[in-house]
Amino acid sequence: MVNKIAYTLTACLVFISANVSADHVEVTKQIKPFTATYNVLRDSEPVGKGVRQLKYLENGTAEYSYHTDIEWLIFSDKRAETSVIELTNGHVTPTHYLYKREGTGKDKYYEWTYDVKNGVATDLKKKREKQITFPPNIQDKLSYHFQHRLNLMANPKQGHFVYPVVSTSGKVKNYVYQYDGEEEVMLPYGLVKTIRLKREVVDKKRITYAWFAPELDYLMVKLYQTKGGVEQFEAQLTKVEIQE
């Protein structure tokens, strides 16, 4: 069960819109390097922590990362996910994706590079290339989190979100989310006004809700997921540090 908690948390922590506007040029400059820390809960009890971080690199790219450290009963699970992205006029393009998982059960490791312009994805683990017809605004399984913030900042009234995401097998799948209202939520971080998004995967009986705070440039501050009506996990923002 702890594996499912960590996997879904890592996969779903933030959402992105597929639509990109010229307003993103200004918005991109407003997102400063940051570190956000979350409590991970199961049945309202803390089972671990998650940390999301943004760094700008000297070569002009950005490194977006997320890692979790979870312990629940006799289980342990540590995951680290990193995406190196290019930013052009507020549009995010993934170039390098890395994922590692260690703990109870089977360890996992994936590493890909993406040449979106030439339609080539390279699996560094298996040392093979794959030709892919990348759709507009293609993202990897982490880069879309950053694109989402840019798009919400540029167009917070948007109510429907479709994200083309390339998986660790090289397949492209659309993620679909809907605007689900506004809400004030009390978190370890404090009382925050938010907008809420919802994703429902009918065939898997899974529903995910995510809360984003306009006052924090639409940082994800809370996440909650159920499957078959049973709670899977919850994540709550505890603190965020922004570099000036």
**pLDDT tens-place string over residues 138-187:** 999 999 889 888 888 888 888 888 889 999 999 998 888 889 999 999 99
Q: Which residue has the tokens 């660790």?
A: 168
Q: Which residue has the tokens 């570099």?
A: 243
Nearest one of 158, 149, 215, 151 to 184, comparing CA atoms: 215
Q: What are phi and psi of 204, to 5 degrees?
A: -105, 5
Which pLDDT tens digits describe the chain residue by residue (244 residues)?
444 444 444 444 433 333 333 333 344 446 899 999 999 998 889 999 999 999 999 999 999 999 999 998 888 999 999 999 999 888 999 999 999 999 999 999 999 999 999 999 999 999 999 999 999 899 999 998 898 888 888 888 888 888 899 999 999 988 888 899 999 999 999 999 999 999 888 888 889 999 999 999 999 999 999 888 877 889 999 999 999 7
Exposure of 37 by Cβ count < 10 A (0-12 exposed, 13-18 middle, 19+ buried)?
middle
pTM of the model: 0.84
Total Cβ atoms within 10 A of residue 143: 26
Q: Distance between CA 7 and CA 101 in Å, rounded?
A: 9
- Contact at 8 Å (CB) between 208 and 11? no
- H/E element holding 42? strand 34-42
Q: Distance between CA 142 and CA 94 in Å, rounded?
A: 9
